Amino acid sequence: MKGLDTLDWVVISAYFVILLGVAWWVIKQKQKNTEDYFLAGRNIGWFMVGASIFASNIGSEHVVGLAGNGAGDKMPLLIYELHAWIVLMLGWVFLPFYARSGVFTMPEFLEKRFDARSRWVLSIVSLIAYILTKVSVTIYAGGVVVSALLGIPFWVGAVATVALTGLYTILGGMRAVVYTETIQAIVLVLGAGILSFMGLEAVGGWGELKETIGVDYFNMWRPNSDPDYPWLPLFLTSTIVGIWYWCTDQVIVQRVLTAKSIKAGRRGSIFGALLKLMPVFLFLIPGVVALGLKMQGKLHWDNPDEAFPVLMSNLLPSGLRGLVAAGLLAALMSSLASVFNSCSTLFTLDIYKKLKPNKPEEELVKTGRTATFFVVGLGLLWIPVITRLSDGLYEYLQNVQAYISPPITAVFLLGIFYKRINANGAIATLVGGLIIGFSKLTLEIMKSSFSEGSFLFNLADVNWLVFAAYFFALCVAIAVIVSMFYPAPSEAQLSGLTFGTVTEKQKADNKSSYTIWDIVASVLVVLIVLYIMISFSTLSL
């Protein structure tokens, strides 16, 4: 890899000056209470909501891992980047219920829909999930990127970036996160877009790339007999994980909750869905280009996860290399900032405030700042485990999420669509799902210690996509069956929280919160998703 030169450092320095200048301006604004600190006063417009959704989703694990998929023959995992249609579900299906309930967090919504037990369980599971996935993976990928770019040891790069991001997140709260994420989204799209264009030009164009690698390589749909990525379990499991991540996860939902109205939140989710279509072209295609250049003898890398940084450092001229490096750092910092703020929100409002309900608002804000340090520390400790679960960073992320998401997805979907589900059904699903999911994860980590052919080895060896699909069906069954043994919730408790209990006034208010253009934009997103799904198949190529 080529190192950065003086002009690159000038570009990177300019980026950080602008970023920290905006963060400092926000920090100087008073955070009077928890609504100001955790939800930016619920006064953010749709453009910034959408940009924040995109930036908080696209972290360095996407830049490194998705390009690694493109370079490492894992094209089926592209389906996780076609979840723009699920982002639309957040705005059209889930947001009205969240906004009407006036909640800060997703566990708080479960308490209103079911009871306090569900809130406790989801709070703890969410914090564990962040440590296992978002925090540790983002720090790991960031360490890889920063050490490769700057030529410094991995842990030094990881910890330094964490410290810088944590500083403005802790001091500035959600408003600092949203404003800086908007800048980061622009830098990231611009930098990665230039790299994609120049990469295709270097390899000889799209036609030459297909000829070099082979048409079959681009097929994301494999037969159900495929041992790694059978298409039906892949589609089902990716949808289950997608609904959990985009519609019920604190990091993403917190972005739409900052909106000044349901209309702004929905339009933000539509804009975020449009932006979500971009990673296919910004990160996956450069990975495929890096493979094509390697096969042509023009580039060398050892691990597919190195494809993006190596392509960037060797292909781009001085200055542009610095811009894309800034984009990589932006991706890392925006994801970390999002997770830090959401972790502190969950801990402070769903755990600490429940234990100490009489604490003043200023004390809660201080507690939220302190909580960040502990989450980061635990994330750092989990990093060594990542490499034992998968040979690809992005696949590890989807793997672990497939074991965490089914019970949460089941409870939220049934909670909104089926008013007969009660608190006992929800808690049985969450606790039972937590035990089943982490048991499978533990078996997978320990698989090498079991004798081949034994019951535990075979159980650990079950394809994660197949397991997650059956796991979700089991969670739905648990929720329904257990609920039938106990009385149905009262209509008063459910008012406005399920489709079956929405009042006529609430229906009218929701209908007035969108126009024909919102519908047209949403349909356009779905059509683009279908086009990409068809394009990445052997039928069209």
CATH of the domain at 290: 1.20.1730.10
User: What pLDDT was estimated at residue 171?
Assistant: 60
Total structural domains within the chain: 1
With respect to residue 293, please indicate whether it lies within any of the assigned structural domains.
yes
Q: 259: which DSSP letter? A: B
With respect to residue 46, please indicate whether it lies within any of the assigned structural domains.
no
User: What pLDDT was estimated at residue 519?
Assistant: 96
Over residues 161-180, the mean pLDDT reads 64
With respect to residue 94, please indicate whether it lies within any of the assigned structural domains.
yes
Whose tokens are 């400790």? That residue is 381
Confidence band (pLDDT; 50, 70, 90) for 408?
very high
User: What pLDDT was estimated at residue 236?
Assistant: 95
User: What pLDDT was estimated at residue 323?
Assistant: 79
43 token code pair: 């006064």
Whose tokens are 């019951």? That residue is 455
Q: Is the pLDDT of residue 540 over 50?
A: no
User: Lowest mean pLDDT: which of 90-94, 181-185, 482-486?
Assistant: 181-185
With respect to residue 200, please indicate whether it lies within any of the assigned structural domains.
yes
Over residues 51-73, the mean pLDDT reads 77
Q: Which residues in 423-456 are b (16+ Cβ under 10 Å) and which e?
A: bbbbbbbbbbbbebbeebbebbeebeebeeeeee
CA–CA gap between residue 242 and residue 81 (Å, rounded): 10
With respect to residue 36, please indicate whether it lies within any of the assigned structural domains.
no
SS3 382: helix
Whose tokens are 């050490």? That residue is 147
User: What pLDDT was estimated at residue 393?
Assistant: 58
CA–CA gap between residue 78 and residue 275 (Å, rounded): 15
What would the pLDDT profile of 217-258 be if each residue is shown by its tens digit? 888 888 988 888 899 999 999 999 999 999 998 878 888 888
Q: Is the pLDDT of residue 389 over 60?
A: no
What would the pLDDT profile of 132-170 be if each residue is shown by its tens digit? 777 777 777 667 666 766 677 766 766 776 676 666 566
With respect to residue 42, please indicate whether it lies within any of the assigned structural domains.
no
Strands annotated E in 371-517:
none
Confidence band (pLDDT; 50, 70, 90) for 101?
confident
Contact 245/405 with Cβ under 8 angstroms? yes
Confidence band (pLDDT; 50, 70, 90) for 195?
confident
Which residue type sits at 284?
A: L
User: What pLDDT was estimated at residue 69?
Assistant: 80
| pTM for this entry | 0.83
User: What pLDDT was estimated at residue 272?
Assistant: 93
487: left (phi over 0), alpha (psi -120 to 50) or beta: beta
With respect to residue 51, please indicate whether it lies within any of the assigned structural domains.
no
Contact 265/91 with Cβ under 8 angstroms? yes
Over residues 29-35, the mean pLDDT reads 55
Q: Is the pLDDT of residue 314 over 90?
A: no
Q: 58: which DSSP letter? A: -
For 270, residues 6+ apart whose C-beta sits below 8 A from its C-beta are 50, 88, 91, 518, 521, 522, 525
Domain of 449 in residue numbering reads as 6-30+58-536
Q: Is the pLDDT of residue 91 over 60?
A: yes
Q: Which residues in 359-385 are b (16+ Cβ under 10 Å) and which e?
A: eeeeebbebbbebbeebbebbbebbee
Q: Which residue has the higher pLDDT, 411 or 224?
A: 411
Q: Is the dihedral of CA 258, 260, 261, 263 positive or negative?
A: negative
Q: Is the pLDDT of residue 340 over 50?
A: yes
Q: Is the pLDDT of residue 484 over 70?
A: yes
Over residues 462-485, the mean pLDDT reads 95
Q: Which residue has the higher pLDDT, 402 or 425?
A: 425
Q: Which residues in 327-343 are b (16+ Cβ under 10 Å) and which e?
A: bbbbbbbbbbbbbbbbb
Contact 329/146 with Cβ under 8 angstroms? yes
Which residue type sits at 163?
A: A
User: What pLDDT was estimated at residue 2?
Assistant: 63
Q: Please list the residues that pair with 44 across neighbouring strands.
A: 259
Q: How many CB atoms lie within 10 A of CB 318?
A: 14
Whose tokens are 């392509």? That residue is 311
Over residues 100-119, the mean pLDDT reads 90
Burial of 358 (C-beta count, 10 Å sphere; 0-12/13-18/19+): exposed
Whose tokens are 């600490």? That residue is 352
For 35, residues 6+ apart whose C-beta sits below 8 A from its C-beta are 41, 42, 104
Over residues 162-186, the mean pLDDT reads 65
Contact 486/424 with Cβ under 8 angstroms? yes
User: What pLDDT was estimated at residue 37?
Assistant: 52
Q: Which residues in 162-197 are b (16+ Cβ under 10 Å) and which e?
A: bebbbebbbebbbbbbbbbbbbbbebbbbbbebbbe
Over residues 435-451, the mean pLDDT reads 87
User: What pLDDT was estimated at residue 541?
Assistant: 40
User: What pLDDT was estimated at residue 427?
Assistant: 96
Contact 487/236 with Cβ under 8 angstroms? no
What would the pLDDT profile of 257-303 be if each residue is shown by its tens digit? 888 889 999 999 999 999 898 888 888 888 899 999 999 988 888 87
CA–CA gap between residue 539 and residue 406 (Å, rounded): 32
SS3 512: coil
240 token code pair: 């289950």
How confident is the prediction for the chain on average, in pLDDT? Answer: 82
Work out the angle at residue 267's Cα, subtended by the Cα atoms of residues 173 and 189, and round it to the nearest 5 degrees. Answer: 70
Q: Which residue has the higher pLDDT, 164 or 355?
A: 355
With respect to residue 38, please indicate whether it lies within any of the assigned structural domains.
no
